[in-house]
Amino acid sequence: MERPASPQMASSSPDSPCSCDCFVSVPPASAIPAVIFAKNSDRPRDEVQEVVFVPAGTHTPGSRLQCTYIEVEQVSKTHAVILSRPSWLWGAEMGANEHGVCIGNEAVWTKEPVGEGEALLGMDLLRLALERSSSAQEALHVITGLLERYGQGGSCLEDAAPFSYHSTFLLADRTEAWVLETAGRLWAAQRIQEGARNISNQLSIGTDISAQHPELRTHAQAKGWWDGQGAFDFAQIFSLTQQPVRMEAAKARFQAGRELLRQRQGGITAEVMMGILRDKESGICMDSGGFRTTASMVSVLPQDPTQPCVHFLTATPDPSRSVFKPFIFGVGVAQAPQVLSPTFGAQDPVRTLPRFQTQVDRRHTLYRGHQAALGLMERDQDRGQQLQQKQRDLEQEGLEATQGLLAGEWAPPLWELGSLFQAFVKRESQAYA
């Protein structure tokens, strides 16, 4: 894993590789009457991402909830969620809940300094919002409320050298999407009610601000970043004056992603989003130095509330050589054991102080099989092509089944829908065995 040069640099330097890309399509940009969400999670090359199902729960009033570093006050009821997360932390890089809310987050650096202390990670905020909201707008309120109360901070990498950043979020539900961008405890949000939108490790909200922190403008004026008279362009005012190399690379990916969405306006489907996430030329499908795309997700959120939302997750790195497998909330949903990493309890390096002094093997069963498969693809071209064809056939089967479901051509029993992801994970594991 590529390590930041020093703790002083690590806490605030965007030059260290860290990147993600999120996309959303809201009708009429979508080819079907559905909001379509997608994300690539780009993380340290050897970091394992697991897919975790957490059922809905009720909790004792006044109880506390342990997040990655700090405790927060628990709420009385939490929704069922499916999460794709780095296996060492509590939160998630991306996920969805039973009400059709999807969220992805990104790292960003602004003129506001990154806090040195431990607080909520952006990934913790993401999971908390999924567990506590039934719409994208409600999720936005959850995140901004927690941000105001607890702040954001703490190392975002499983590494002894701290590495911290602020967060941006793309939030979507069956009817709309929101972009939420933060600078410390301050924030601005933009509502997306039609068309396509993407975010890539930089502030992107200009003057089209739908909601904001009540002190956003007065703070910018007090700092001398805004004269109080001209147009209030959030990205221009809060972005770093000297953009580091990594931020410039993110700008190129943002522009490439926007163009890929523009080219498919009106015809965007789950497959189109998967194709964008697999685009290596743009850097959206990343494999650069110490970082790569470690997991990917695409969700179809039908506007018709009687239709189920379908979430496709890889649980493995490099979407160009991974299988997007369908998950649907329903009766009989349970954890797929093959995509769950081992746990280490109180001895976990994230729990013992000082943190991250040792390393543990967090690879889950599917990850191990997929690693072997990637090795075979690189060593033996013929067998590798056969294996990649198996991957494509399995993914196509999942796409066709869910398309039939949404078209009313396939009506399986509820228990079969609930176990769909488990079935596909099992078959992928068998293909690698």
* Residue 319: DSSP 8-state: G
Q: Sign (positive/negative) of CA torsion 364, 330, 125, 193?
A: positive
If you average pLDDT over residues 114-131, what whole number do you get? 95
What is the predicted pLDDT for the residue at 246? Answer: 67
Q: pLDDT digits over 389-399, tens only?
A: 999 999 999 99
pLDDT at residue number 3: 31
| 338: three-class secondary structure by DSSP | helix
Model's pTM, two decimal places?
0.95
Percent share of the chain, pLDDT over 70: 95
Query: Is residue 313 predicted with pLDDT exceeding 80?
Result: yes
Measured distance CA(10)–CA(108) in Å, rounded:
14
Phi-psi region of 421 (alpha: psi -120 to 50; beta: other; left: phi over 0): alpha
Position 414 scores a pLDDT of 84
Q: What rounded mean pLDDT belongs to the chain?
A: 93
What is 412-426 written as a DSSP string? --HHHHHTHHHHHHH
Distance CA 284, CA 195 (A): 20
At residue 2, the pLDDT reads 32
pLDDT tens for 327-381 read 999 988 999 999 999 999 999 999 999 999 999 999 999 999 999 999 999 999 9
User: What residues are labeled active site?
Assistant: 20
Domains and CATH numbers, the chain: 21-366 (3.60.60.10)
Q: How much is the pLDDT for 162? A: 85
The first and second tokens of residue 153, run together, are 């901070």
- Residue 163's pLDDT is what? 86
Task: pLDDT band for 421, please (50, 70, 90 cuts).
Answer: very high
The confidence score (pLDDT) of residue 289 equals 77
- Helix 420-432 vs helix 381-406: crossing angle, to nearest 10: 170
| The two structure tokens encoding residue 142 | 């959850």
Residue 31 in this model has a pLDDT that exceeds 70: yes
Give per-residue pLDDT as tens, 174-188.
999 999 999 999 999
